[in-house]
Amino acid sequence: MEFKENNSFSLDWDDRFTEDVIRLMDAIEATPPPPPSSSSKKRKSAVHHQDNLKTGRQLPHSILSPPPSFPSSFARCQSNTRLRYPPLRFGGHILYSFTEDEVENAAMELLKIVEIKKKEMGQVALGFDIEWKPSFQKGILPGKAAVMQICCDSQYCYVMHIFHSGIPQSLQVLLEDSEIIKVISLHLIC
């Protein structure tokens, strides 16, 4: 991204997605996972293998099921329409990061902003969203996280493409900081 003198910016990230890059990304996504090793095949029984095909990896029921006091999973969302924190409306600049170095630098910048806000306000809230390629087949988990969006104020929103770069150390520190409130949109969950 390049900033111009009049505080506008041009999105040079469009240039990175040539047809060749898009074809390469599609080929990577279409590549089947490697077959299991022969030693793991011997350890699994046929019955155990059948169970795994039916269920796949799943979250514990305690996480997925609502607390007993709610009649349905949507009751929590519908009953609590008053927010504890003010909504963060975004109308500023979007800063894209594609490579591991760019994501690392963006996270370092966010950490600096968070430290300044902690000193000024005592408590910091970040708007947070994460996206991944869904799977529409029963028993197949969705793909790994592809894009993470973090908004710290109404000026800048950081969009980090973490599919290929992974989560660098500075971003992990930011995400694990329990003093930072991560705000998500409830209508996306409910």
Read off the pLDDT of residues 41-95 as tens digits, 9 standing for 90 and up: 444 444 444 444 444 555 555 444 444 444 444 444 444 555 566 665 667 899 9
Is residue 6 situated within a structural domain? no
Query: Terminal CA-to-CA distance of the chain, rounded, Å?
Result: 35
Cβ neighbours of residue 139 under 8 Å, at least 6 residues apart? 53, 54, 55, 56
Evaluate whether 161 touches 147 at the Cβ level (below 8 Å): yes
The CA distance from 23 to 78, in Å, is 43
Residue 93: count of CB within 10 angstroms of its CB? 14
Which pLDDT score, from 0 to 100, does residue 37 have? 57
Look at the block and give the residue holding tokens 């060749």: 20
C-beta separation of 114 from 182 below 8 A: no
**Predicted structure pTM score:** 0.50
Task: Confirm whether 42 is domain-assigned.
Answer: yes
In a domain, residue 149? The reply is yes
Rounded Cα–Cα distance for residues 11 and 29 (Å)? 26
CATH number of the domain that residue 145 is part of:
3.30.420
Residue 54 token pair = 């039916």
Q: Is residue 95 part of a domain?
A: yes
Any domain includes 7: no
- Domains of the chain: total: 1
Domain for residue 142, yes or no? yes
Helix (H, G, I), strand (E, B) or coil at 160: strand
Residue 2 lies in a domain: no
Q: Which domain holds residue 96?
A: 36-189
In a domain, 29, yes or no: no
For residue range 93-152, list pLDDT tens digits in order: 999 998 999 999 999 999 999 999 999 988 889 988 888 777 777 887 777 788 999 988
